[in-house]
Amino acid sequence: MARYVSNVLNAEFPVFPMPEPLQCGRFKLTFERPLVMGILNVTPDSFSDGGKYAMRGDALRQAERMLLDGADIIDIGGESTRPGAPPVPLDEELERVIPLVEQLRGANVPLSVDTYKPEVMRHALSAGADLINDIWGFRMPGAIDAVRDSRCALCVMHMLGEPQTMQLGEPAYEDVVAEVRGFLEARVTTLMQAGIARARISVDPGFGFGKAVVEHNYALLAHLPDTAPHAKPPFPILAGMSRKSMVGAVVGRPAPERVAGSIAAAVCAAERGAAILRVHDVAQTVDALKVWAAMRDAANRGRVRR
């Protein structure tokens, strides 16, 4: 008679070497468990005509919510980098982002700013940002100079093409995992040669940024540890899949209904050693990761004898 044997009892739990602590402005982040980065979009709400003040109030309330829900980092973004989203002028992005950094600075939580503009990076760091999250991987002229003399962390992301056009043609790779890793290796080398300490650098394969929706994104997720530079100790990996079309394509639901699918993706990434998960649904992701961590801890204790 066929018998199902639980893998957990017999196989070893996959163990990935833990990244060293990440130097992140006022903080030093450690990765005994994956950290949750809550997404704070500071963009005008089409349903509200209250202008900037309402937008800022909404953002502050949302930040408060995410902190109560257990977010470890808040990622503030003033320009949507979703495929096809229009660029935001510099002064508009500054007006959206900098007041929020100032107002959240007292919350004693690491503040990340999602920007590729060197000028926004400089102002954000002066206002007290702890991490600069750059979808362009610090390739814009002046971006490296903007962060060099600070203690902020960097998130270096892979993107093929530009946000406006990256999903229009068919993104083509010979080996998507190796090519993303090669790109990140080259960026990390350039950053360290420019004088940025290794301890400040995290990497991100850039889910949804110039990748075929199912084929490439799920290959990157399946092989997540291989998307980062092969280095000892490893660089912390940040994974952002929350509500993206890679989830939508599989569950067949619009963005607001992709919460459960996104949590499954986050747990898969945790299982593959992700250090930071960038998510919209902080409370649900924190719970899911607690359950996953309890299972991992049990696996590490070994099989219980009686």
| Residue 238 makes contact with ligand PT1 by CB under 6 A | yes
| Residue 34 makes contact with ligand PT1 by CB under 6 A | no
Give yes or no: 278 in active site. yes
The SS3 call for residue 252 is coil
Q: Of these residues, 187, 211, 244, 272, which one is catalytic?
A: 244
Q: Token digits for 22? A: 């990440």
Footprint of ligand PT1 on residues 122-151 (CB under 6 A)? Answer: 133, 135
Amino acid at 186: A
From candidates 78, 137, 208, 261, binder to ligand PT1 by CB under 6 A: 208
The torsion region of residue 137 among left (phi > 0), alpha (psi -120 to 50) and beta comes to left
> Which residue intervals of 105-223 are DSSP H helices?
118-127, 143-148, 176-193, 215-222
* Shortest distance, position 279 Cβ to ligand PT1, whole Å: 10
From candidates 42, 66, 125, 157, binder to ligand PT1 by CB under 6 A: 157
| Residue 262 makes contact with ligand PT1 by CB under 6 A | no
The residue range among 1-9, 79-87, 265-273, 295-303 that interacts with ligand PT1, by the rule CB under 6 A, is 79-87
Give the residue with the Cβ less far from ligand PT1, 78 or 240: 240
Instruction: Count residues binding ligand PT1 (CB under 6 A).
Output: 18
Host H or E run for residue 73: strand 73-77
Whether omega before 89 lies within 30 degrees of 0, making that bond cis, reads: no
Could you tell me the end-to-end alpha-carbon distance of the chain, in angstroms, rounded to an integer?
27
Neighbours of 264 (CB within 10 A): 15
Residues at the site binding ligand PT1, with contacts judged by CB under 6 A: 81-83, 114, 133, 135, 155, 157, 204, 206-209, 238, 240, 244-245, 278
